[in-house]
Amino acid sequence: MKTLLTITLLNMVLVTTVVIVHYEFLIRASDVIPRLCRHHRPRILLGVLAALVAHSVEIWIFGLGYWFMHHSENFGHLQGNFDGSLLDAAYFSFTTYNTLGFGDIEPIGLLRYTVGMEALAGLVLITWSASFLYVEMQRYWNER
C-alpha cells in the first residue's frame, strides 16, 4: 500500500510539473513573441518552436522520472531494448508522450501507471499547444 501511495504521489508531481512547465512556456511565448516580431509569419514560427521546446522539456522530465524509477526499488523496471541509460529513458518517454509506443521497451510493475499518466498528459498538452497556436494564428493571420 505504501508503494502504491508513493507511485501516486510521484505521478502527481510529474504531471503537475509538466503542466506548470507547459503553462509557463505558452504564457511567456504569448508575451514575448509579439514584441520580437512585427510580422505574422515569424510569430507563428516562434510559437511552434516554443511549443516544440516545451514538449521536449516535458518529455525529458518524464524521462528523468522513468530513469529514477527504473533504478529504484519497488517501482518496477523497463525491459526490452533498454540499457538503463537516461537517453533510453528519454526515448521511451518520447514514444509514450505522443502515444506512438514502438513497443521495443516495455514497462513492468508500478511503472506502468506512470506510462499511462504520461500518455494522457501528452495528449492534453499537445492539444493545448494546438489550441494555443490556433488562437495565435487567428490573432495575426489577417495582418498579411
Confidence of residue 51 (pLDDT cuts 50, 70, 90): very high
Predicted confidence (pLDDT) per residue in 72-108, tens digit? 988 999 999 999 999 999 999 999 999 998 889 999 9
Q: Which residues contact 30 (CB under 8 A, 6 or more apart)?
A: 132, 136
The pLDDT of residue 143 is 59
Does the global pTM surpass 0.85?
yes
Position 137 pLDDT exceeds 90: no
Domain 2-33+40-143 class?
Answer: mainly alpha
Query: Grid coordinates in use for 51?
Result: 511549443
Position 136 pLDDT exceeds 70: yes
Query: Grid coordinates in use for 128?
Result: 493545448
Rounded CA separation 102/8 (Å): 25
Predicted confidence (pLDDT) per residue in 30-42, tens digit? 898 888 877 777 8
Query: Grid coordinates in use for 59?
Result: 518529455
The answer to whether 18 and 121 have CB atoms below 8 angstroms apart is: yes
Rounded CA separation 58/79 (Å): 22
